Amino acid sequence: MNVDKLIEKAQGAVKKRNYDYAISIFLEAVNFAPNNRVAREGLRAAELRKYEAGYPSKLAILFGTLGNKLGILLARLGKKGNPEGYMMACEKYLVKDPKSLKVNMALGDAAAMAGHLEAAIVAYNNAAEHHSEDITALKHLGALLWKRGDIREAHEVFDRVVRIDGRDQEALKSRKNLAAEISLKETGFERAESSRDLVKDKGAAGRMERDTRMHRSEADLSSEEEGLLKKLEAEPEGVDVLLDLAKVYEKQKAWDKAVDALDRAIEKRPGDEALTFQKGDTQIHRFEAELLQLKQGDNGEAQASKEKEFLAFQMNEFARRVKAYPTDLNLRFKLAELLLADGATDDAIAQLQQTVRDPRFAADSQLRLGEAFARKNEYELALRQFEKALASQIGMTERRKEILYAMGDAQQSSGDREAARSAFSKIYEVDINYEDVADRLAALSKSSGS
């Protein structure tokens, strides 16, 4: 399943104020991609907008969430073995009570346990936003922001904790250490013995104050770039400095400079796949930014050429990642989708026949396998995969519609028009605007004389 397309569809539903539909799509997205920050934030935003006119009363929440509470209770029993299942149970509860402190915290804890850092940050941030005096939510949020490397944001969060409770020793210590790390990392005070020494320097204190702002201007980024370049002169072998410099360049959209900084880092630390992947991600971000600019213009030919170039780059990039991490089925599935987009059907099938073994990717792998077999006119194999994919679906979800549409298309291509009409009708019955299903049904009805 293409998570980006799901998110786009959900965002479209939000614009139309069809919040229930948007929420159902966002839930599918986070179920498939638990650590997708955009999907998590979109889901919570849609839930909150749904209740703009009036938030449910405590009594309504009590009766409306009884089944969800049971689901959380049952999921908790297998939390360690299946944290993603527990996360989904929490999300289903939050549909009815998105501001719940207890459930947002439980969601964040489960996400952190599973290593889904982005999901945990979104959950703790939501808890802190609606319960501004709860320092536990803030401290969890600050700790994960620090872990992610967002030291300025983490400093700001722990500063909030100290303003709420000036005696919280954990927050005081974290704020102090973060302030020291900011200066040590970005202002070059390598010889400072403690954060107290740093604060004594009025210039350093001013820089810390500026650098802890969450939204920095172009002038701030230029100043940061200048400081890092000076530090690099003093530490020509500093890989971490080069990585920080690459981040600044990416924020400035100075793509050539960002890639050059990463290349220099890779030269100094050969064999570090994480650095190579970071370079690949930066190049992907560059393609995305360039495509967005082309879409805003009126040059279809240039856009088509750039999209073709982007696809080729991504195929090479993910093929390399799969080679480095052959057991990572998430990478394999992404590669399979890219191969299908390029028309490399047999290569895509080979990847999907491995990802289909994992329950997380089974339904989407079966769908893509069905589409691949249909391309090869192997309709019996295609329909077998579609049937397997449908068997795992409950209710008329976006994924179910996608499977039914692909099944109807294959049935129509194989000459089984009645079966195709049946598949398309199931979609039409609940979503008349799905793809071109209305036109497909009309054409099938016309050709059969009915």
Residue 379 lies in a domain: no
Residue 35 lies in a domain: yes
Residue pLDDT, tens place only, 49-90: 888 777 777 665 665 554 455 444 544 544 455 778 888 888
Q: Which of 26-30, 73-77, 262-266, 323-327 has the lowest average pLDDT?
A: 73-77
Q: What is the DSSP string of 416-445?
A: -HHHHHHHHHHHHTT-TTSTTHHHHHHHHH
Are 68 and 74 in contact by the 8 Å Cβ rule? The answer is no
- 10 has pLDDT over 80: yes
Looking at residue 53, which CATH number applies to its domain?
Answer: 1.25.40
Residue 151 lies in a domain: no
Residue 65 lies in a domain: yes
Residue found under tokens 């391309």 = 375
Residue 446 lies in a domain: no
Q: What was the pLDDT predicted at 235?
A: 86
Q: What's the CA gap between 73 and 66, in Å, rounded?
A: 11
Indicate the helix (H) or strand (E) that contains 189.
none
Residue pLDDT, tens place only, 283-301: 998 998 888 888 777 778 8
Residue 205's pLDDT band, with cuts at 50, 70 and 90, is very low
Instruction: Give CA separation, 78 vs 102, 117, 216, 337, in Å.
Output: 19, 20, 43, 32
Q: Which residue has the higher pLDDT, 259 or 201?
A: 259
Residue 288 lies in a domain: no
Are 124 and 141 in contact by the 8 Å Cβ rule? The answer is yes
Q: Find which of 167-171, 219-223, 253-257, 377-381 is predicted with most confidence, using mean pLDDT.
A: 377-381
As a whole number, mean pLDDT of residues 420-433 equals 92
Of 351, 322, 321, 326, nearest to 336 by C-alpha is 351
Residue 414 lies in a domain: no
Residue 87 lies in a domain: yes
The total number of structural domains in the chain stands at 1
Q: What was the pLDDT predicted at 184?
A: 63
Percentage with pLDDT > 70 across the chain = 85
- 248 has pLDDT over 70: yes
Q: What was the pLDDT predicted at 338?
A: 92
Range of the structural domain that residue 39 is part of: 1-131
> Rounded mean pLDDT of the chain?
83
